[in-house]
Structure 1
Amino acid sequence: MTSILTNTSAMSALQTLRAINSNLADTQDRVSSGFRVGEASDNVAYWSISTTMNSDNKALNAASDALGVGAAKVDTAYAAMESAIDVVDEIKAKLVTATEASTDKDQIQLEIDKLQEQLTAIAQAASFSGENWMIASASASNTVVVDGFIRNNDGTVKVTTAEYQVASYALFDSIDGGVGSGGILGSVMSVKLTSMSTTGQISAYLDQVESALGEMTIAGAALGAMITRIELQDDFAAKLSDAIESGVSRLVDADMEEESAKLSALQTQQQLAIQSLSIANSSSSNILTLFQQ
């Protein structure tokens, strides 16, 4: 039955065209944005995962930036420790020279005085971003370097850190009046030769210097271990960030080859649906021929 009030063919063709236009709009959005899941309504599960992981990745990148600052602090402290070891080695050599009875111990002490001044200068200069790990009073007893960001199984997050014991490894406890005191080098700063210094006294000074060198070696090793850890963590953070980006990409990025093929097919379907709707609409006008004389 043909009705002039209801055109079921046109209604069917219109529904098909609307569905095609909707799919075409979705495909065009994916092509233009590059996202298969651009908002929660596209896929709640994937959108939720990608949003959380993108947030964690930003935090991880921020931790990597903080790691760079920490690396600079450690490098500064290590450079100071290395330079201080060289100076103490010089003091040790001067003391060995002073054990010879014919040497002028007063002149040797003048050299040692300058070396001791250099040790104070090294400790004072070893500052980065307001922190000086070579002077105990200039920093907290234990300082930390941010080295990572993790998400626990229960959903809580945590910033991981590496610790350096300033109180144990500082060259000086404090510097007063331009002279360092206490700390690893406190005994080295007490070396004072005179023309009357005996071999036994010089030997005692050598023992003090040797003990200080041992402690400085331990401190340098602690700094070296931190440098290694920071370098490894930096490499790992970069790889982890890339892995997170790759994983999120698999969840939400559009396959451009697939979307391009869909776009061409839907454009063809749209044209055919429009043609079908046009045919369906024209069928009603054919009824006029029934009433022609």
Structure 2
Amino acid sequence: MTSVNTNYGALVALQSLNQTGRELSEVQQRINTGLKVSSAKDNGAVFAIAEGQRARVASLGAVMDGIDRATSVIDVGLSAGEAVGDILKQLKEKSVAAQATDLSTDQRAALQADFDALRNQIDQIVNAATFNGSNLVNGTNLTGGSAEFTVLTTDAAGSSSGRFELTGNALVDGNGDPYSIHADLENATGLDFTAADAEVRFSITTGNVTETMTIQLTTGDTINDFLTSVSDQSNGRVTASFDDETGEITFHSQEDFTVEYYEDDTLTDDTGIFGAGAAGTSMTQAVAPGSGTNALTVQGFNFTLGATGQALEEVTSALDISTASGASAAVTAIDDAMTNLNRDLATMGAQAKALEVQKTFLGKLSDSIEAGIGNLVDADLAKESARLQALQVKQQLGAQALSIANQAPSIVLSFFR
């Protein structure tokens, strides 16, 4: 039926043209924003996922900022510790020189004056080693204290990414007696690797990839040697500590890990590796997250003069090198201080390395999440440009079709000629 009241062809052409206009507007929006999902109305589910992951990226950035600040605090502390170490070397030089018996009274007085001046610089250096209000070496951030220094290592809460630990039984000697506080970090009395070809292997699984890190052991290694080897040879991903009160060695990691002991490439337990045939020292494979925290406690120290129980405990104003015997006592005290200072600096260095590893991981994680967000919401601009060209042509054709359809009712006039 032909009618001047209803032009069905024009209605269809108009609907098609409107649809093309909507599609063209959508493509232009994608090209302008670079996103195929720029708002919830584009795809509500995908938009919600993307927004959640964007929030996670922002939180990871905040965590990395915190790690940067913590690393700076440790770096400042390390610089102060190294400066204190340099002063201790000079103090030892003065003390050794004062042991000579042919020195005059004036010469000894000059040495003593130099010695006192150098020693008094230590507290000034230590107290100045502050970054962002935190000082890691003047005793204000001792672990367990009210001002304990902690740093977030991940944005995830608790149990899934806390500090994983494995603690063995107390080390015992050949008689079955615990080493406990008799163990010496710097001597082989507390831990002596007797196996000719022994190693400890740590395994960490990430996704479908398992990485194994081998810690080579050397006969005669001390406890301190072993602790350092664990951190160095695992690139900071696993660290070890020794409790001289309980005689226990504990392995720590931010990642879930397992540990195995090998002798001559044969799987064994640690009874044949730790101690001289000691019994009862086996560490089980029961690896579990520690407290489930997402924060790392940075161990603080006190490098000030005479601080009880700390590195420079014996370096006090009582040291007197005005006599040969006093100089000899000073050398002993300074040697002990240097040993303790170096041990503490090694711990600080391991903490800095652990934070560096964690920041590297978080950076890669953030990049991966951002790539995942892009996969969800980014527009394929090459594809959209092709669609734009096609829709522009389609719009022009639709406009011509509508024009033709609008002219159709005029044929009615020919019926009345």
Name the aligned partner's letter for residue 313 of structure 2: G
* TM-score (norm. length: structure 2): 0.61
Contact 1:20/1:270 (<8 A) preserved:
yes
What is residue 25 of structure 1 aligned with on the other side? 25
State the alpha-carbon separation in 1 of the partners of residues 159 and 117 from structure 2.
58
Tell me if structure 1 keeps the 8 A contact 2:149–2:299: yes
Deviates most, 213-222 or 98-107: 98-107
CA offsets, 1:91-146, max 9 Å, x none?
22222222222235433222210111111111121111222222114775531234
Q: Is the 8 A contact 1:150 1:159 kept in 2?
A: no
| 2:220 maps to 1:220 | no
Contact 1:123 1:171 in 2 (8 A): yes
CA apart distance, 1:39 = 0.7
Aligned residue among 165, 174, 177 for 2:299: 165
Structure of larger gyration radius: 1
Q: Relative contact order (C-alpha < 8 Å, sep 6+): which is higher?
A: 1
Q: Give 5+ residue unaligned stretches, structure 1.
A: 173-178
Matched residue pairs, number?
279
5+ residue gaps, structure 2, are 161-291
Distance 2:82 2:9 in 1: 89
More strand, by proportion? 2
Task: Mark the CA change 1:159 to 1:46 in structure 2 (over 3 Å): closer, same or farther.
Answer: farther
Cα distance in structure 2, aligned partners of 1:48 and 1:138: 42
Partner of 1:82: 82
Give, in whole Å, the separation in 2 of the partners of 1:33 and 1:133.
48
1:48-91 CA distance string (max 9 Å, x none)? 12111111111112222222222221111000000101111222
Matches of 1:22 and 1:273, distance apart in 2: 13
Contact 2:98 2:324 (8 Å CA) reproduced? no
Taking only aligned residues, the RMSD between alpha carbons, in angstroms, comes to 2.5
Structure-to-structure mapping, 1:60-79, within 5 angstroms: 60-79=60-79
Q: TM-score, normalised by structure 1?
A: 0.85
Q: Distance in 2 between matches of 1:180 and 1:152?
A: 39
After TM superposition, the structure 1 stretch with the greater mean CA deviation from structure 2, 100-109 or 48-57, is 100-109
Residue among 130, 134, 155 paired with 1:149: 155
Alpha-carbon distance between aligned partners in 2 of 1:148 and 1:228, rounded to the nearest angstrom:
16
For residue 53 of structure 2, what is the aligned residue in structure 1? 53
Cα distance between partner residues in 1 of 2:158 and 2:398 = 53
In structure 2, the residue corresponding to 1:186 is in which secondary structure? coil
In the alignment, structure 1 residue 113 sits paired with structure 2 residue 116: yes
CA contact 1:148–1:159 (8 Å) conserved in 2: no
Query: Is 1:192 matched up with 2:316?
Result: no
- Aligned-pair CA distance for 1:214: 1.7
Contact 1:60 1:241 in 2 (8 A): yes
In the alignment, the residues of structure 2 paired with residue 194 and residue 81 of structure 1 have an alpha-carbon distance, to the nearest angstrom, of: 24
* In 2, Cα distance between equivalents of 1:2 and 1:137: 95
Higher helix share: 1
